[in-house]
Chains A and B, each alone.
Chain A
Amino acid sequence: MTELQRIMHVEDDPSIQQVAKIALEAVGGFTVHTCSSGQQALDDYQAFTPQLILMDVMMPGMDGPTTLQQLQQKYDLSGIPTVFMTAKVQSNEVSSYKALGAADVVVKPFDPMTLSEQIRQIWRDFHS
């Protein structure tokens, strides 16, 4: 299992973009590429080649699940776990996201100090 380094974060809110970027880079030591929309994620995917995608579910224009679907159609994501970020979820919602191809779900609001560890755990689980 390679070590997780490159994370693509897809999120429309600039403040959350910043917080997540710092939380993952400063605390977790990852390299984060931020996309402001699903479309940008599709455009930037090939250039960045992320190891993991962290994506907001509710976004204007193209939402998280649709973006994931499009990415899956264009690229091979079999080794790239996608983690959805969404507000307080119910267990059956988590399973529906997983059915769409998500590796896991991170609940908003997230704790920036533990987010990196959480992502790392998901990465490990994905590869185990």
Chain B
Amino acid sequence: MIIQRVSSTSNFITWFGSLLLLTFFGWLGWQDYQQHQTTDVLQKWALAFLVSELLLLLLLSDMQRVTRRLMRELQQSQELKQQRETQQNKQYQQALSTLNNIAASFNPDWREQLRQALLVAADYLHLPIAILSKIDGDDYQVIVHSAPAGLLQDDSHFELGQTYCSLTLAGNSVFAVHHMSDSKYASHPCFSAFALESYIGAAVQVEGAPFGTISFSSAKPRVRPFSQLERDFVSLLARWVGSNIERRRYLEAQIEVAERLKKISSQLPGMVFQFRQTADGKFSFPYCSEGIRTLFHLTAEQVKQDASPLFALVHPDDQDLVQQGIHQSAETLSLWKQDHRIQHSDGEVVWLAGRAVPESQPDGSILWHGFVSDITERKKIERLKDEFVSTVSHELRTPLTAISGAIGLLHGQVFGRLPAQAMQMAELTQANVKKLQLLINDLLDMDKLIAGKMQFDMQPQPLLPVIETAVRDNQSYAQQYQVRYRLQADATDLWVNVDSMRLQQVMTNLLSNAAKFSPAGADVDILVQCQQQQALVRVIDKGCGISDEFKKDIFSHFSQADSSDSKSKGGTGLGLAISKQLMTRMHGSIGFHSEVGNGSEFYLLLPLVSETEPSEVKL
């Protein structure tokens, strides 16, 4: 193209030059002819024109020749460059495709996967010996290798100093020598030992720490030094190997955790599980431990996609309960905790205690993690215990009635005057019989409350008379401890819906506790107030107060701050637990404030009612 343009330009110059010369010499000839008026002059100028034209043609033809040569050379060099680029591109593509093949390959056996990678890379680099090493101090261990048969073995050990890899590690980048005997490393012990002429290697990092090296070598020297591309290739491969080892370690750790979970969970006396509710309301158990066989006579596979086989076992009477429980847990994302029964096809009923924590998932489903265990035996024991408590309490009452009566008669001196000491003993016996009676009453109350068998005679009534009666009835008790009750009613016309006997029982408990734990001579204040549409009864003592560690247990069964308390202060430790239950059943509440050394305040809250509200008998 350029040559054509050069040729047409020179043609143009030839014609244009010739025309110019012709015009110029024509004009000179014409001028000369007009002066001399002879044709000789014309001949002379014609000759001069011809010579000039010849010279012009010669000059132009030479220029054209030179230009053509230059252009050809340029073209050739361009073609050469293009060829080299194509070659290089091809090499890049080959390197990338090799790396890609390596990265995409997967073999469950990670050693084989790495061996395959080394083989592919060795092939690309034309270096037959490839090694992934682990370096620990001076020890060089071949982890995986790819080499002609018989040359090397996995897991063989060398001294690090005997390998070129010591140089790779020292350099902290890709180390490459294409002709060892011709390099400054010719005296390296590795060359003396193995006579490896060409070598390229890079350090492998795992989890940010040096792990070892990958290296490729050959006994033959290479003609040309290693290219930047080959260095980059080895560097990238080292990084891939490092991350591959990391991934394997992570995977192995996961497998180990899964195995551990499986082994441990198989030893659990129950079933650990994952339970899923999808956004469209389908249930499944993505994971169930082996316990599913024992508890439900099912396999994890049977409920993996659909939870129905397991739900079908839930006892008909507990179906609604379980469904509501799950629904509520899903709605509020709160702990699901439920005792329920299942029934097997042979009719056997098993009590289960289940609990699971829900988590909302990005796909809109809810996933629970939980545990369910067989509590049939516990339920049986609980029932036996309840029956035992109930029976024993009832059975104890008969002899207690006889003892109480007999002692009462002695103490009442029905059979004649008693000596002073005998009288004292009779009093002591009577007091202890009274304590036993109270203990049994507490046990029976608790028993009834737990079994839900206690009946309440709820009546709308004025609160103050109930409190006044309780204070009056406990006055003598307070006197034993030299304590005085001071009742102060800020609100006198509060009406509440309660069972007056039960409320008195609660008050008796609070009043006797306040007296028991007050110092001699102290006052116990009882305040009746109205607070935010509720009746508030406060019993405030100046006793020793309640320690922080005991506060959380104060309303639990058989709780007394110090087990020695029950000896010095009397009581079963059931009083507050019973009071709390009674208050709850009467739609009220009980609470306290206390500070060690500064006394305690126990308070009752009851909703106010109007005088006309109909009475309600709560079972």
Contact = CB atoms under 8 A, between A and B. Distances in A.
Given A92-B455, A109-B404, 11 more contacts: A15-B402, A18-B406, A20-B405, A22-B409, A23-B405, A109-B400, A110-B405, A111-B408, A112-B414, A113-B408, A113-B411
Given A19-B406, A88-B441, A91-B457, A113 B412 contact: yes
Interface in B355-394: 394
A29 to B, nearest CB: 12
A113 B404 CA distance: 11
Interface string B401-436: 110111011011011000000000000000001000
A15 B399 CA distance: 8
A16 interface: yes
Contact of B405 (A16, A88, A92): A16
Q: Considering the complex of A and B, which 9 residue pairs feature the smallest CB-CB distances, nearest first? A: A19-B405, A15-B402, A109-B401, A113-B412, A109-B404, A112-B408, A112-B405, A26-B414, A108-B401
Interface string A107-124: 011111100000000000
B402 A13 contact: yes
B51 interface: no
A62 interface: no
Contacts of B412: 27, 112-113
Contact of A108 (B397, B455, B499, B617): B397
Contacts of A111: 404, 408
B501 interface: yes
A22 B409 CA distance: 8
Contacts of B394: 87
Interface string A21-34: 01100110000000
Contacts of A15: 398-399, 402, 406
Given A88-B444, A90-B457, A92-B455, A16 B398 contact: yes
Query: Which of B394, B409, B433, B437 has the most chain A CB atoms closer than 10 A to its own CB?
Result: B409
A110 B501 CA distance: 19
Contacts, number: 70
Interface string B440-459: 01001000000000010100
A91 B441 CA distance: 16
Given A27-B414, A91-B501, A92-B455, A19 B400 contact: no
B394 to A, nearest CB: 7
Most buried by A among B408, B444, B499: B408
Nearest to B408: A112
B538 to A, nearest CB: 27
Contact of A113 (B399, B400, B409, B617): B409
Contacts of B408: 19, 23, 111-113
A88 B404 CA distance: 14
Interface residues of A, number: 21
Nearest to A87: B397
A33 B297 CA distance: 65
B443 to A, nearest CB: 12
Nearest to B502: A90
Contacts of B441: 88
Nearest to A17: B402
Interface in B475-508: 499, 501
A16 B404 CA distance: 10
B401 to A, nearest CB: 4
A23 B412 CA distance: 10
7 contacts: A15-B406, A19-B405, A19-B409, A109-B400, A111-B404, A112-B405, A112-B406
Given A15-B399, A87-B397, A88-B441, A112 B409 contact: yes
B401 A110 contact: yes
Contacts of B457: 90-92
Given A13-B398, A92-B457, A109-B400, A22 B414 contact: yes
A16 B501 contact: no
Which of A13, A87, A110: most chain B Cβ within 10 A? Answer: A87
Nearest to B454: A90
A87 B400 CA distance: 11
Interface in A77-117: 87-88, 90-92, 108-113
A94 to B, nearest CB: 10
Contact of B402 (A19, A87, A92, A113): A19
Contacts of B617: 92
Contacts of B405: 16, 19-20, 23, 109-110, 112
A26 B409 CA distance: 9
A125 B54 CA distance: 168
Nearest to A95: B457
Nearest to B407: A112
A15 B397 CA distance: 12
A13 B455 CA distance: 28
Nearest to B434: A109
B441 to A, nearest CB: 6
A89 to B, nearest CB: 10
Nearest to B400: A109
B534 to A, nearest CB: 25
A90 B394 CA distance: 16
A92 B408 CA distance: 29
Contacts of A109: 397, 400-401, 404-405, 433, 437
